[in-house]
């Protein structure tokens, strides 16, 4: 399969890097030609036939570098197949509450760049280490009821399954556009 796919991501603490790499490995195993790059290392997005963009949620939103990429590349990204993935915390919220929180983040992305219509949005738990953050950050998160649970909650099987599932969506849409 001759399919150049870019997997690009924003991160602060690196959990999303591991998820992006796992997606890249799985896509390659399915025969796709894939590059995995941090979002600030992407120089020629137009070289790819489809793009997967991921970011963790911080304070309810994707990181600015990820949304800035969408805004800067809105014309290109509204013309090629695009998928998003969102990385979130494990915390004490109910599953419903957490789902609504993630949906609000996805809606905020859509409201910024409504012309980009992702073929799918992967949603994955990330990782959190309270020792990496200052006491004031932890207290602020706690006060908002948003203090993540410590630990690495990345579900590699779910990430690989999503990569396998999104590949035909990206390539089918690319094929339709060629005709």
Ligand X SMILES: Cc1cc2nc3c(=O)[nH]c(=O)nc-3n(C[C@H](O)[C@H](O)[C@H](O)COP(=O)(O)O)c2cc1C
Task: List residues binding ligand X (CB under 6 A).
Answer: 11-16, 56-60, 87-89, 126-128, 133, 137, 141, 146, 148
Enumerate residues 6+ apart whose C-beta is below 8 A from 75: none
Residue 179 CB, shortest distance to ligand X, in Å, is: 38
Residue 8 CB, shortest distance to ligand X, in Å, is: 13
Nearest residue (CB) to ligand X, 39 versus 89: 89
Question: Distance (Å, rounded) from C-alpha 75 to C-alpha 120?
Answer: 19
Nearest residue (CB) to ligand X, 69 versus 128: 128
Question: What phi and psi, each to the nearest 5 degrees, are found at residue 63?
Answer: -65, 150
Query: What is the DSSP-derived secondary structure letter of residue 128?
Result: E
Nearest residue (CB) to ligand X, 115 versus 150: 150
Q: Which residue is nearest to ligand X (CB)?
A: 126
With 0-12 CB in 10 A as exposed, 13-18 as middle and 19+ as buried, what is 96?
exposed
Residue 113 CB, shortest distance to ligand X, in Å, is: 20
């Amino acid at each position: 399969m001759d399919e150049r796919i870019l997997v690009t991501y924003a991160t602060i603490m690196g959990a999303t890097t591991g998820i992006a790499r796992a997606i890249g490995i799985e896509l390659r195993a399915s025969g796709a030609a894939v590059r995995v790059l941090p979002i600030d290392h992407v120089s020629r997005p137009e070289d790819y036939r489809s793009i997967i963009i991921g970011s963790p949620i911080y304070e309810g939103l994707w990181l600015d570098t990820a949304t800035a990429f969408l805004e800067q590349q809105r014309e290109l990204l509204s013309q090629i197949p695009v998928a998003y993935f969102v990385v979130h915390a494990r915390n004490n919220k109910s599953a419903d509450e957490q789902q609504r929180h993630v949906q609000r983040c996805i809606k905020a992305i859509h409201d910024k760049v409504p012309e980009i219509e992702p073929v799918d949005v992967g949603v994955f738990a990330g990782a959190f280490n309270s020792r990496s953050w200052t006491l004031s950050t932890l207290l602020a998160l706690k006060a908002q009821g948003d203090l993540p649970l410590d630990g690495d909650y990345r579900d590699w099987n779910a990430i690989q399954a999503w990569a396998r599932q999104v590949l035909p969506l990206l390539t089918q849409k690319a094929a339709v556009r060629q005709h």
